[in-house]
Structure 1
């Protein structure tokens, strides 16, 4: 009887792990996003920061100043998922680095690569698009 319960427990555990990992994808390294005005002119540092703030607000991210002069951006989705990225920026460019998440299946795979819920990549891309659009409006 103990053997049957052990096999049953192992089977349930394996199935639940497979299901959890099914909603994860490799975490892609963020790319540096080039920001420019609609006329193609490059942004200075202040305009870059303003574009990040405006784009983040339009994409429903909250912004927290970081003491190192960077910006931490946080997004909550449906009261279930939370993600935090750091905006690393200079004049005319920004990169959104992963900092933390809640309920997004962030973990290291057996292969040594990090994985995360696929929607994280979608939400980060939407943030990048919103910041590009805000930069074009400056």
Structure 2
């Protein structure tokens, strides 16, 4: 079970260290430091919920960090516009209609990150949940 230790610095301020045995008994000691006791307690609960493992997606010393975007990843609307531009066998008016539909509807697809930040959908981050949310909100 993870515990919290209050550490007092030379200047008198406190930090809070969450410590646990990685994987439980027989594991190695792991720790993460926080400035706020509430954040430390929240993290302690996460470690306990993850069976004495680092929480999924947590980067030691940084917290929950979205992975760097793949350089080949593109916004969903850009990909859809390129797709429409490459269609063959359609007249210019149909192409314009498709572009308008991309701008009107596909641009509404968003992707909420693990941290709660809502960002535009990309080819690399879009999920089935994002599409279901979009279908439920299309005008």
Instruction: Determine which structure has the larger strand proportion and give its number.
Output: 1
TM band (smaller chain): under 0.3
Alignment TM-score, normalising by the size of structure 2: 0.25
TM-score (norm 1): 0.26
Higher relative contact order (CA 8 A, sep 6+): 1
Point out the structure with max Rg over C-alpha: 2
